Amino acid sequence: MTPLRLFDTYERKVREFKPINPGKVGLYACGPTVYNYAHIGNLRTYIFEDILRRVLEFNGLEVNHVVNITDVGHLTSDADTGEDKMEVGTRRTGMSAWEMAEFYGDAFKSDLKHLNALEPVTWCKATDHIDEQIAFVQDLEKKGYTYRTDDGIYFNSQKLNNYGYLARLDIDGLQGGARVEQGGRMHVTDFALWKFSNTDEKRQMEWDSPWGVGFPGWHIECSAMSAKYLGDFFDIHCGGEDHIPIHHTNEIAQTEASRGTRLANFWMHGYFLQLNNAKMAKSKGDFIRLETLVDEGFSTQDYRYYCLTAHYRTQMSFSLESLDAGRTALARMLQATYSWGEPGEISEEYLQRFVSYINDDLNMPRALAVVWEMIRSDLTSENKKATILKMDEVLGLDISGWRPDATEAPPEVLSLMHEREVARRDKDWKRADELRDMIAGHGYVVEDTAEGPKLSR
RNA sequence: GGCUGGGUGGCAGAGUGGUUAUGCCGCGGUCUGCAACACCGUUUACGCCGGUUCAAUUCCGACCCCAGCCUCCA
C-alpha cells in the first residue's frame, strides 16, 4: 500500500506520516468560537479534517480526535481593550453567554452530523478547563515568560529565539498598531495569557485567578487542553489557514516555553472558501450557512461532495453555479451506484489507485477522478458497487444509504399520468405531450422508462 | 509597508519539462413517437515579459493581479 504522506506547514513540505506511538494517532482540531452559527467556509475545514481522520483510519490507525469549543475569551476589533465576542453575542441574541455557547455549539455539532462527519472522540470546552489554563500560565510565569500590564498577563514572545517559525514571520516587518492598539504590550507579537475583567463592568464569564478576576486569553486553551487529552507532543494539529500566523504560532510559543516541544509533529491547515474573491467572515454578520444551501434546494451531501472536488490546501471559489455542478455529479454517482444491485468483489486495481491519491496528502480531486474512471470502466456492476462502497469509507458520502426519492405525487398528477399513458397507447402524441406539459405545470417531470412512466420533481 | 500563498479551457478544479486529469455546462451521436434519463464521442487552457533547455503551462528572474496574516477569524 502507498505510504501515507501529509503536508506539514511547519516544515513546508509533504513528508511521510509516522505515528509517534505505533498504530495510534493524536489529532487535535481547532474548533469554533460559539457566538454565532458556522458558515460553509468554516465547515469546509471540518470536512477536510473529517477526510483526514477517515484516511488515517483507512490506513489502519486508531485516531484520538479531539475538538475544542471556544466559548470564552475572544476579543472583538476596535479598541485596545476590546470586548469579548461572547459578551457581544449575548447582546445580539438576548441569551446568556452560557446559553448561547450551548446553542451554537449544538448547532455546530448538528451541521457536522448532517455533513456525515465522524463524531470526535473528545469534545472539550474552554470554560471547562479554566484550572488547566491557569496552571499553564503559572508554569509560564515561573519560567519567566510572562509580564503584567494594566489589562492582563502577557507572553513575552521575544524570549523565544524562533518565535514565528511556523508562519515564517518577519517580525520587524509587522505593522504593530496598524489595526489594533498595542496597549501595554512590549512587542507586537506578545499576546494575552490572562485578561483582567474591567472594574466598571460585571462580565458574565469570569473566574478568580492568582492575578485577579478575569478570563483566559484565547491561545492558552488549546495548549492546555491538547496537553491534557493528547500529551505535550502529539501527531497532528489542524485548523484553518488563518491560524498559521497568530493562533498556532502562539500555541507553539506557549508550549515550547513550558514543555519544550513544538506541540505537534504535523501542522495541517484547511484553506479558505472564497466568496466573491474574499474570505467568508463570520464577524461580518452576513454569511452562508449550511441551512441556507438546503433552503436553496441542495443537500448537505452536495456540499460535502463539492468540497472534495478541490484540494484542502487551495482556496476555493464558491458559487451556487459550481455547487450545482457538484450536485449533478453526485446525483449521477448515487443513482448509478444504486442501480448496480448487490456488491461483488472489490477491484484492487482501482482501489490501489484511489489509495495512492488519498495517501498523497489527501488528494481528493484525483481520488474522485479515479472513482469516475471506475464508474465508467468495464468492471461488472457488482464489482463496481463493492469498490465504490469501499472508497466511500473515505469519501463519507453515505453512498450505501442513498435511495431514490419515493415521489408521492398528488392524485391529480397521477391521474394525468394515467391519462397520458392511455393517449400514448393510442399513439395520440399530441395529447400525450399536452398532458406532459400539464404534469410539468404541477412541478413534476415524467420520464418514460422500460418499466413504465416515472415521476420526479 | 512586510511576510505567506496563489494566478490553468464557459464554470469548478487536478497535474506535468515532451504523450496535456476529473466533474459540470456546451456541441455531435446512440436510445426515444418526441423528450427525459442513460451511454458514446467532442471543442476551448495554462496572467504578462524575459531567461535556461532540443523542448516550458511545468524550472529561474522581473512585472501585473488576487487571497490570507500583521485585531477576533476555518
Same domain, A438 and A341: no
d(CA A457, CA A440): 9
Residue A223 (CA) to nucleotide B63 (C1'), in angstroms, measures 43
With respect to residue A60, please indicate whether it lies within any of the assigned structural domains. yes
A434 found inside a domain: yes
User: Which position has the grid cell 400525450?
Assistant: A432
Nearest to A274 by CA among A239, A240, A237: A240
**pLDDT tens, chain A, 457 aa long:** 789 999 999 999 899 999 999 999 999 999 998 988 999 999 999 999 999 999 999 999 999 999 999 988 665 543 334 567 777 788 888 888 899 999 999 999 999 999 999 999 999 999 999 999 999 999 999 999 999 998 899 999 999 988 999 998 888 777 655 555 567 788 889 999 999 988 777 788 899 999 999 999 989 999 999 999 999 999 999 999 999 999 999 999 999 999 999 999 999 999 999 987 788 776 655 589 999 999 999 999 999 999 999 999 999 999 999 999 999 999 999 999 999 989 999 999 999 999 999 999 999 999 999 999 999 999 999 999 999 999 999 999 999 999 887 667 788 888 888 889 888 888 888 888 888 888 888 888 888 887 788 887 7
Spatial distance from the CA of A389 to the C1' of B73 (Å): 37
**Gap from A370 CA to B18 C1', in Å?**
25
Strand B contacted by A339 CB (< 7 A): no
What is the DSSP track for A120-184?
Answer: PSEEEEGGGGHHHHHHHHHHHHHTT-EEE-SSEEEE-GGGSTTTTTTTT--GGGS-TTSSS--TT
Which one of A402, A427, A445 terminates a domain? A402
Domain that holds residue A373: 320-402
A246 and A325 co-located in one domain: no
Q: Are residues A328 and A382 in the same domain?
A: yes
> Quick check: A304 CB within 7 A of strand B?
no
Please tell me whether residues A264 and A372 are part of one structural domain: no
Q: Which of residues 385-424 of A touch strand B (CB under 7 A)?
A: 424
Same-domain status, A356 and A244: no
Q: Which chain A residues in 305-324 sit with Cβ < 7 A of strand B?
A: 309-311, 314-317, 319, 321-322, 324
List protein-proximal bases of chain B (any atom < 7 A from a CB): 1-6, 10-15, 21-25, 32-40, 66-74
| Helix spans in A143-263 (H) | 218-230, 247-259
Task: Examine the domain organization and report whether A279 and A332 are in the same domain.
Answer: no
Asked if residue A39 and residue A68 are part of one domain, the reply reads: yes
- The pTM (predicted TM-score) of the whole model is 0.94
Tell me: do A392 and A417 sit in the same domain.
no
Residue A299 lies in a domain: no
* Statement to judge: residues A233 and A361 lie in one domain: no
Residue A59: inside a domain, yes or no? yes
Give the pLDDT of residue A80: 38
What's the confidence (pLDDT) of residue A285? 54
The total number of structural domains that make up chain A? 3
Q: Are residues A105 and A128 in the same domain?
A: yes
Cβ atoms of A334 and A404 within 8 Å: the answer is: no
Please check whether residue A368 lies inside any domain of the structure: yes
